[in-house]
Structures are given as structure tokens and as C-alpha cells.
């Protein structure tokens, strides 16, 4: 599976940080989602930039992880967010 190059946070999602972790709320479904520390950082980067390559580059700087593993993790993370309706993939 390849990583989508451009994604956007759904307009129905609001979020709140608490004790260093994010709680996301999808207003359409009234479902809540929790993100851990790394997920929280990825989400914050996503609020600033929709280009996943830029997010990956920044995460490589901040976390002690090899690029292959990070790419796999971010790909999985984004697919989970898409499945939950929290982000949408923008067309190329």
C-alpha cells in the first residue's frame, strides 16, 4: 500500500489536547477517538500541512526511527483515519 500524498482533516472533526494526548470527536457520528503521543504529533503536523511527504520528513527529524518503519506506520495510521472518516484523501 502506498501513502497518499495529500490528505485533509474532515470538517466534521474537532479535537482537544489533554495531558499531551489528543481526543478527536467526529460530530457526524458523535464518536470519540484517542491518539497517543506520536499520533498527536502527526495530527498537529497534519493541521499545518496536508502533504504527507512533508509530515514524514518532519517526523524523521523528531523521532528516532528508520524511514521504512516510519513510512509503514504512517501509511497504516492514515488508512485508519480514512476508514474512520476523520480525514479525506485529496485527488492528485
Residues near another protein, by CB under 8 A: 12, 14-19, 21, 23, 25, 27-28, 30, 32, 34
Q: By C-beta, is 1 or 18 nearer to another protein?
A: 18
Burial class (CB in 10 A: 0-12, 13-18, 19+), 52: buried
Q: By C-beta, is 31 or 54 nearer to another protein?
A: 31
Q: By C-beta, is 70 or 84 nearer to another protein?
A: 84
DSSP 3-state of 44: helix
Amino acid at each position: 500500500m502506498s501513502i497518499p500524498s495529500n490528505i485533509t482533516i474532515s470538517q466534521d472533526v474537532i479535537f482537544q489536547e489533554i495531558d499531551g494526548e489528543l481526543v478527536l470527536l467526529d460530530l457526524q457520528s458523535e464518536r470519540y477517538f484517542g491518539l497517543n503521543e506520536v499520533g498527536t504529533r502527526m495530527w498537529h503536523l497534519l493541521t499545518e500541512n496536508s502533504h504527507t511527504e512533508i509530515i514524514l520528513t518532519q517526523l524523521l527529524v523528531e523521532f528516532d526511527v528508520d524511514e521504512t518503519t516510519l513510512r509503514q506506520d504512517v501509511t497504516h495510521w492514515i488508512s485508519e483515519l480514512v476508514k474512520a472518516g476523520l480525514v479525506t484523501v485529496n485527488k492528485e
